[in-house]
Structure 1
């Protein structure tokens, strides 16, 4: 009611009503983070971690934490958790189901790391498409618990670009601080360079090549002239 003092987001005591996220096949990592924060806010997360003594209070918290987990899963997972008696058991079962058992996880990480190292930008590939593949692989690795560093991703992007980006990549490697540079900054610079390249046609490349040939020829003549002058002296 309007005069009850409720703001629509909580009860009369000012407590916030939490709307638990729904778990789907592709959002486990984000779901787990949100559920942890929500259960911390309700004071029941320690039941999942099993850090409190085996008391009546723990049982109550355990039931509340288990109820919170049930609120965040779809109906097709209910039977999977039906035999789990504690919040920790239910939580661990979901983790194994969506992230994989330790052996499977280790194997998956190794496979993804090999894929990450093998990634190479095709000549016809644009910056957005290539960086999307790199970032998706990195995100999956981090979801699995692998601590791949930002600097490692930055170096990979610069090392794996196609030949037309070698100039800008070399410049960034030579003059930039790769240890502190962000992935977003590298991607932004590559995209800016890509946009500038779009304004150049084949004719510009031929002109550049011709200039290089002329410079080489001029340098060769100068070297021959210097050699003759040394002979006369």
Structure 2
């Protein structure tokens, strides 16, 4: 009877998640459940740290983990020989990359805040540049809302737009105004 249940485990054919630069937390949660389902989680996190880990369980856990990481990460982990060593190394590497991403996003946000449109610059060129910054920041997982960008545009344009920006701020609803509406109003003034 035990043999038939092992056969059923093999027939399930679980699909492991691929680790990317942005999904470590979800990946780790799923992989832990998969490793538990195959009774090899103890190779990663033993209940008794002094107890020896079964070699077959360790190799199976390593196989499952290695299937879903990039070759680049695999090469970084080459010196680690057990699942117990590999798991925390993946965590450190992934969360470290996450910290770098957050730092990069904060740097981009600071640079975004300092953007100003030059007197001689065309509105279309400035807005294209501004949208590029917004896209870069969003690509790093940070959110920038429409009203935040609207207010930034109004702060960043030169004094030749002072009359129209004042009108928009006084009589328009900046909470609901779209980027397209603001750019359209500025272009009409330009």
TM-score (norm 1): 0.46
From 165, 170, 173, give the equivalent of 1:171.
173
From 81, 86, 93, give the equivalent of 1:85.
81
Once the 2 structures are TM-superposed, how far is the Cα of residue 70 of structure 1 from its aligned partner?
1.2
What value does the CA root-mean-square deviation take over the aligned residues?
4.6
Per-residue CA deviations over 1:89-129 (Å, capped at 9, x if unaligned) read: 21332344455389xx47x7455423312304654324753
Once the 2 structures are TM-superposed, how far is the Cα of residue 130 of structure 1 from its aligned partner?
4.5
Q: How far apart in 2 are the matches of 1:13 and 1:78? A: 27
Once the 2 structures are TM-superposed, how far is the Cα of residue 68 of structure 1 from its aligned partner?
1.4
Aligned to 1:157: 149
Aligned to 1:129: 132
Once the 2 structures are TM-superposed, how far is the Cα of residue 63 of structure 1 from its aligned partner?
4.1
- Conservation of the 8 A alpha-carbon contact between 1:62 and 1:87: yes
SS of 1:100's equivalent in the other structure is: helix
Per-residue CA deviations over 1:62-104 (Å, capped at 9, x if unaligned) read: 54332211112344554432331332421332344455389xx
From 60, 64, 77, give the equivalent of 1:64.
60
Aligned to 1:52: 47
Per-residue CA deviations over 1:125-167 (Å, capped at 9, x if unaligned) read: 2475343133124x1x6xxxxxxxx6xx437434422548953
SS of 1:89's equivalent in the other structure is: helix
TM-score (norm 2): 0.53
Greater relative CO, 1 or 2 (CA 8 Å, sep 6+): 2
Q: How far apart in 2 are the matches of 1:17 and 1:136? A: 33
Work out which of the two has the higher radius of gyration on C-alpha atoms and give 1 or 2. Answer: 1
- Conservation of the 8 A alpha-carbon contact between 2:108 and 2:133: no
Once the 2 structures are TM-superposed, how far is the Cα of residue 32 of structure 1 from its aligned partner?
5.5
